[in-house]
């Protein structure tokens, strides 16, 4: 970790961009071919590719970055301080958004609840099937991962001991292949455990992330912790070369050859091919940000704080704007741009003029006790706010009501 501080610039920049990509993804959802909370008759096939492309790498990369910063703080802070700070940063904004913006979202999508009333006829069903938590499901996952990290802190801290056996192994040639193999094989493990666990495996816990999602993204979080503990492993992970490109192409070919085949062997190959493409793309994304954004930047320092608020606020704005455009005879591409621009501007304005300026709103929607209005660089000790998001690409493998993707 001797050079860890210099790496935090590009990690923080990557976190911000991953979160903001959630706004792009959700703005496209009313106009792609899959079911969502608001669907317009106008469709644009290109948006299916956009949504799939973002899903492919966004949430896996997000949880790796989350694990990196969790480890960074865990080896520097007492466990109690780590847990208090991390839970405040995820649970306070989660509850604040659920009780404000997401309540409005439930009203827009489900309605008043009819004769049963809003509480029983709309809010309760929305909570059960995940529509109330919606795009905030990943905050619940982070809370679980932070609790696990605190529980196993003494063992995790040993990973950062440069003289330890694990650190020595992480510097070896086989560490990265083993890590990548584990990541690529994770979806298969999730499917296998799901067959044993039964139908509740994909159901949201407390209206949030399902057990399947918790297991699916946990390895990425753990790998992020390993990358923080071992700069040598990070150097090899955040690298793009001919082998990385060749593996990504190979995975893509396997996906094409096995797409739509129901045989178990072909489905297994398809899972592995997709996983190979996903993690090679994540590695390329890491390498690009390390090359292009590994320096102090006032823009990324500002976005580091703003992107969290923007993500919390944008979803209901997307739904409201897309609903307002349903009856207008505009092309899907034009509607998508209008929704994206509206959600971005409204969410940024709420952050800039309210969350950034008023301490109570900064606490509620950024989880900070805060108070500096000036933008601060994050190189020395990052004040990390979780990236979104959904989460992946995050598959929309949870409840049918989930907005998808984090």
Q: Over 60: is that where the pLDDT of 396 sits?
A: no
Alpha carbons 93 and 240: distance in angstroms, whole number: 36
What pLDDT score was predicted for residue 190? 92
pTM of the entire predicted model: 0.89
What pLDDT score was predicted for residue 262? 81
Residue-wise pLDDT tens digits, 312-370:
999 999 999 999 999 999 999 999 999 999 999 999 999 999 999 999 999 999 988 75
DSSP string over 46-74: HHHHHHHHHHHHHHHHHHHHHHHHHHHHH
Place 199 in a pLDDT band, splitting at 50, 70 and 90: confident
* Cβ count near 262 (within 10 Å): 6
DSSP string over 115-154: GGHHIIIIIHHHHHHTTTTGGGHHHHHHHHHHHHHHHTHH
DSSP string over 186-251: HHHHHHHHHHHH-GGGGSPGGGS--HHHHHHHHHHHHHHHHHHH-HHHHHHHS---HHHHHHHHHH
Q: Which of 352, 355, 288, 303 is nearest to 57 (CA)?
A: 288
Residue-wise pLDDT tens digits, 86-127:
999 999 999 999 999 999 999 999 999 888 889 999 999 999
What pLDDT score was predicted for residue 406? 55
Collect all residues with Cβ–Cβ distance below 8 Å to 165 and sequence separation of at least 6: none
SS3 content of the chain, % helix, strand, coil (to 5): 70, 0, 30
Residue-wise pLDDT tens digits, 211-260:
999 999 999 999 999 999 999 999 999 999 999 999 999 999 999 999 98
């Amino acid at each position: 970790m001797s050079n860890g501080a210099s790496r935090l610039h590009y990690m923080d920049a990557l976190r911000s961009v991953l979160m903001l990509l959630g706004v792009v993804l959700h703005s496209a959802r009313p106009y792609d071919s899959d079911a969502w909370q608001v669907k317009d008759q106008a469709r644009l096939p290109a948006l299916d590719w956009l949504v799939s492309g973002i899903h492919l790498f966004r949430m896996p990369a997000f949880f790796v970055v989350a694990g990196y910063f969790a480890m960074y703080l865990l080896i520097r802070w007492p466990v109690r301080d780590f847990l208090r700070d991390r839970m405040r940063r995820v649970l306070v904004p989660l509850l604040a958004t659920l009780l404000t913006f997401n309540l409005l979202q439930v009203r827009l999508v489900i309605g008043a609840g009819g004769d049963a009333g809003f509480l029983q006829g709309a809010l309760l069903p929305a909570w059960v099937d995940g529509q109330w938590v919606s795009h905030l499901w990943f905050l619940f996952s982070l809370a679980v991962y932070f609790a696990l990290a605190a529980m196993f802190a003494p063992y995790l801290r040993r990973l950062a001991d440069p003289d330890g056996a694990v650190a020595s192994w992480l510097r070896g040639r086989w560490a990265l292949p083993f890590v990548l193999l584990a990541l690529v094989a994770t979806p298969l493990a999730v499917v296998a455990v799901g067959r044993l666990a039964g139908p509740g495996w994909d159901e949201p816990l407390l209206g949030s992330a399902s057990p399947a999602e918790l297991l699916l993204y946990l390895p990425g979080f753990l790998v992020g912790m390993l990358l923080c503990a071992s700069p040598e492993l990070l150097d090899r992970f955040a690298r793009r070369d001919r082998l990385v490109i060749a593996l990504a192409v190979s995975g893509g070919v396997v996906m094409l050859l096995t797409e739509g085949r129901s045989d178990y062997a072909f489905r297994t190959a398809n899972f592995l091919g997709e996983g190979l493409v996903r993690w090679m793309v994540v590695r390329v994304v890491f390498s690009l940000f390390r090359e292009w954004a590994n320096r102090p930047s006032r823009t990324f320092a500002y976005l580091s704080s703003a992107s969290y608020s923007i993500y919390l606020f944008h979803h209901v704005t997307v739904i409201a704007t897309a609903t307002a455009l349903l009856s207008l005879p505009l092309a899907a591409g034009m509607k998508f741009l209008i929704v994206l621009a509206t959600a971005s501007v409204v969410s940024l304005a709420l952050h800039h003029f309210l969350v950034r300026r008023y301490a109570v709103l900064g606490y509620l929607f950024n989880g900070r006790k805060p108070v500096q209005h000036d933008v601060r660089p994050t190189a020395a000790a990052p004040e990390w706010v979780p990236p979104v998001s959904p989460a992946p690409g995050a598959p929309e493998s949870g409840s049918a009501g989930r907005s998808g993707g984090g």
